[in-house]
Structure 1
Protein backbone atom coordinates (compact mmCIF):
# COMPACT_ATOMS: atom_id res chain seq x y z
CA UNK A 1 0.00 0.00 0.00
CA UNK A 2 2.92 2.34 0.58
CA UNK A 3 3.91 1.85 -3.05
CA UNK A 4 0.47 3.11 -4.10
CA UNK A 5 1.34 6.54 -2.70
CA UNK A 6 4.82 6.75 -4.18
CA UNK A 7 6.90 5.20 -1.42
CA UNK A 8 7.81 5.81 2.18
CA UNK A 9 8.88 9.45 1.69
CA UNK A 10 5.47 10.48 0.37
CA UNK A 11 3.64 8.64 3.15
CA UNK A 12 5.74 10.44 5.76
CA UNK A 13 5.10 13.79 4.06
CA UNK A 14 1.35 13.07 4.29
CA UNK A 15 1.66 13.01 8.07
CA UNK A 16 2.42 16.76 8.31
CA UNK A 17 -0.94 18.03 6.97
CA UNK A 18 -2.73 15.15 8.69
CA UNK A 19 -1.20 16.28 11.99
CA UNK A 20 -2.37 19.83 11.26
CA UNK A 21 -5.92 18.60 10.61
CA UNK A 22 -5.94 16.67 13.90
CA UNK A 23 -4.43 19.59 15.82
CA UNK A 24 -7.02 22.05 14.49
CA UNK A 25 -9.79 19.63 15.39
CA UNK A 26 -8.55 19.60 19.00
CA UNK A 27 -7.52 23.27 19.33
CA UNK A 28 -11.05 24.57 18.76
CA UNK A 29 -12.13 22.95 21.99
CA UNK A 30 -9.26 24.60 23.89
CA UNK A 31 -9.19 28.17 22.54
CA UNK A 32 -11.25 30.48 20.35
CA UNK A 33 -9.55 31.35 17.07
CA UNK A 34 -12.05 34.00 15.97
CA UNK A 35 -13.64 31.62 13.47
CA UNK A 36 -10.40 31.45 11.49
CA UNK A 37 -10.18 27.71 12.18
CA UNK A 38 -12.39 26.93 9.21
CA UNK A 39 -9.91 28.60 6.85
CA UNK A 40 -6.91 26.86 8.39
CA UNK A 41 -8.69 23.50 8.47
CA UNK A 42 -9.76 23.84 4.83
CA UNK A 43 -6.21 24.85 3.95
CA UNK A 44 -4.75 21.76 5.61
CA UNK A 45 -7.29 19.56 3.83
CA UNK A 46 -6.23 21.09 0.49
CA UNK A 47 -2.55 20.58 1.38
CA UNK A 48 -3.29 16.95 2.24
CA UNK A 49 -5.08 16.58 -1.11
CA UNK A 50 -2.09 18.07 -2.90
CA UNK A 51 0.26 15.59 -1.23
CA UNK A 52 -2.09 12.69 -2.09
CA UNK A 53 -2.27 13.72 -5.76
CA UNK A 54 1.52 14.00 -5.98
CA UNK A 55 1.94 10.68 -4.20
CA UNK A 56 -0.56 8.94 -6.46
CA UNK A 57 1.19 10.34 -9.50
CA UNK A 58 4.47 8.82 -8.35
CA UNK A 59 2.86 5.62 -7.10
CA UNK A 60 1.63 2.45 -8.75
CA UNK A 61 -2.13 2.57 -8.10
CA UNK A 62 -3.36 5.52 -10.18
CA UNK A 63 -1.44 7.23 -12.91
CA UNK A 64 -2.76 10.68 -13.79
CA UNK A 65 -1.70 12.11 -17.12
CA UNK A 66 1.19 14.42 -16.35
CA UNK A 67 -0.46 17.81 -17.01
CA UNK A 68 -3.66 16.90 -15.15
CA UNK A 69 -1.92 15.61 -12.03
CA UNK A 70 0.52 18.50 -11.80
CA UNK A 71 -2.12 21.14 -12.52
CA UNK A 72 -4.44 19.57 -9.95
CA UNK A 73 -1.69 19.54 -7.33
CA UNK A 74 -0.75 23.13 -8.18
CA UNK A 75 -4.34 24.33 -7.86
CA UNK A 76 -4.70 22.55 -4.50
CA UNK A 77 -1.46 24.16 -3.32
CA UNK A 78 -2.63 27.62 -4.39
CA UNK A 79 -5.91 27.03 -2.56
CA UNK A 80 -3.99 25.99 0.55
CA UNK A 81 -1.83 29.11 0.48
CA UNK A 82 -4.73 31.48 -0.12
CA UNK A 83 -6.88 29.99 2.65
CA UNK A 84 -3.96 29.98 5.07
CA UNK A 85 -3.09 33.61 4.41
CA UNK A 86 -6.74 34.61 4.69
CA UNK A 87 -6.93 32.71 7.98
CA UNK A 88 -3.92 34.69 9.25
CA UNK A 89 -5.65 37.89 8.16
CA UNK A 90 -8.82 36.95 10.02
CA UNK A 91 -6.83 36.13 13.16
CA UNK A 92 -4.94 39.43 12.97
CA UNK A 93 -7.98 41.61 12.39
CA UNK A 94 -9.90 39.79 15.10
CA UNK A 95 -13.14 39.37 13.21
CA UNK A 96 -14.47 37.48 10.24
CA UNK A 97 -16.00 39.85 7.66
CA UNK A 98 -18.11 37.10 6.10
CA UNK A 99 -19.64 36.08 9.42
CA UNK A 100 -20.24 39.68 10.50
CA UNK A 101 -22.36 40.28 7.38
CA UNK A 102 -24.54 37.29 8.19
CA UNK A 103 -25.19 38.34 11.81
CA UNK A 104 -28.34 40.42 12.34
Structure 2
Protein backbone atom coordinates (compact mmCIF):
# COMPACT_ATOMS: atom_id res chain seq x y z
CA UNK A 1 0.00 0.00 0.00
CA UNK A 2 1.33 3.45 -0.91
CA UNK A 3 1.83 6.07 1.77
CA UNK A 4 0.30 9.52 1.59
CA UNK A 5 1.93 11.91 -0.92
CA UNK A 6 5.09 13.43 0.46
CA UNK A 7 5.47 10.67 3.02
CA UNK A 8 8.00 8.43 1.26
CA UNK A 9 5.47 6.70 -1.00
CA UNK A 10 6.43 3.17 -2.00
CA UNK A 11 5.08 1.69 -5.20
CA UNK A 12 5.70 -1.58 -7.06
CA UNK A 13 7.14 0.15 -10.16
CA UNK A 14 10.69 1.50 -10.21
CA UNK A 15 10.98 5.22 -9.47
CA UNK A 16 10.75 7.74 -12.31
CA UNK A 17 14.48 8.35 -12.12
CA UNK A 18 15.32 4.65 -12.55
CA UNK A 19 16.88 5.11 -16.02
CA UNK A 20 19.05 7.99 -14.71
CA UNK A 21 19.95 6.41 -11.38
CA UNK A 22 23.64 5.92 -12.24
CA UNK A 23 23.93 9.57 -13.33
CA UNK A 24 22.29 10.80 -10.13
CA UNK A 25 24.51 8.61 -7.99
CA UNK A 26 27.59 9.85 -9.81
CA UNK A 27 26.59 13.48 -9.24
CA UNK A 28 25.80 12.80 -5.58
CA UNK A 29 29.20 11.16 -5.07
CA UNK A 30 30.84 14.26 -6.57
CA UNK A 31 28.81 16.46 -4.24
CA UNK A 32 29.89 14.29 -1.33
CA UNK A 33 33.49 14.99 -2.34
CA UNK A 34 32.75 18.69 -2.53
CA UNK A 35 31.34 18.59 1.01
CA UNK A 36 34.51 16.90 2.24
CA UNK A 37 36.47 19.65 0.49
CA UNK A 38 34.48 22.37 2.26
CA UNK A 39 35.04 20.60 5.59
CA UNK A 40 38.75 20.50 4.86
CA UNK A 41 38.72 24.21 3.95
CA UNK A 42 37.18 25.10 7.31
CA UNK A 43 39.60 22.80 9.12
CA UNK A 44 42.49 24.55 7.36
CA UNK A 45 41.12 28.02 8.25
CA UNK A 46 40.65 29.04 4.63
CA UNK A 47 39.35 32.48 3.69
CA UNK A 48 35.63 32.87 4.54
CA UNK A 49 34.57 34.00 1.08
CA UNK A 50 36.27 31.01 -0.52
CA UNK A 51 34.39 28.66 1.81
CA UNK A 52 31.07 30.40 1.14
CA UNK A 53 31.74 30.22 -2.61
CA UNK A 54 32.25 26.46 -2.37
CA UNK A 55 29.10 26.08 -0.26
CA UNK A 56 27.21 27.92 -3.00
CA UNK A 57 28.60 25.51 -5.59
CA UNK A 58 27.49 22.52 -3.50
CA UNK A 59 24.04 24.03 -3.03
CA UNK A 60 23.65 24.60 -6.78
CA UNK A 61 24.79 21.05 -7.50
CA UNK A 62 22.23 19.64 -5.06
CA UNK A 63 19.50 21.79 -6.61
CA UNK A 64 20.41 20.44 -10.05
CA UNK A 65 20.01 16.87 -8.81
CA UNK A 66 16.69 17.76 -7.17
CA UNK A 67 15.43 19.49 -10.32
CA UNK A 68 16.38 16.45 -12.37
CA UNK A 69 14.45 14.20 -10.00
CA UNK A 70 11.41 16.50 -10.13
CA UNK A 71 11.55 16.58 -13.93
CA UNK A 72 11.70 12.79 -14.09
CA UNK A 73 8.83 12.56 -11.61
CA UNK A 74 6.72 14.81 -13.83
CA UNK A 75 7.68 13.02 -17.05
CA UNK A 76 7.28 9.51 -15.67
CA UNK A 77 5.12 9.22 -12.56
CA UNK A 78 2.77 12.13 -13.21
CA UNK A 79 2.38 11.53 -16.94
CA UNK A 80 1.78 7.80 -16.46
CA UNK A 81 -0.86 8.50 -13.81
CA UNK A 82 -2.51 11.16 -16.02
CA UNK A 83 -2.85 8.65 -18.85
CA UNK A 84 -4.35 5.88 -16.75
CA UNK A 85 -5.71 7.16 -13.41
CA UNK A 86 -6.93 10.78 -13.29
CA UNK A 87 -7.43 10.70 -9.50
CA UNK A 88 -3.90 9.41 -9.01
CA UNK A 89 -2.64 12.08 -11.40
CA UNK A 90 -4.20 14.77 -9.22
CA UNK A 91 -2.43 13.34 -6.17
CA UNK A 92 0.89 13.18 -8.09
CA UNK A 93 0.47 16.80 -9.18
CA UNK A 94 -0.16 17.86 -5.57
CA UNK A 95 2.91 15.87 -4.52
CA UNK A 96 5.04 17.58 -7.21
CA UNK A 97 3.80 21.01 -6.18
CA UNK A 98 4.60 20.35 -2.52
CA UNK A 99 8.06 19.04 -3.40
CA UNK A 100 8.77 22.17 -5.47
CA UNK A 101 7.70 24.36 -2.55
CA UNK A 102 10.01 22.47 -0.19
CA UNK A 103 12.91 22.71 -2.65
CA UNK A 104 12.55 26.46 -3.15
CA UNK A 105 12.15 27.26 0.55
CA UNK A 106 15.20 29.11 1.77
* TM-score, shorter chain, exceeding 0.5: no
When normalised by structure 1's length, the TM-score is 0.44
Q: Report which of the two structures shows the higher radius of gyration computed on alpha carbons.
A: 2
When normalised by structure 2's length, the TM-score is 0.44
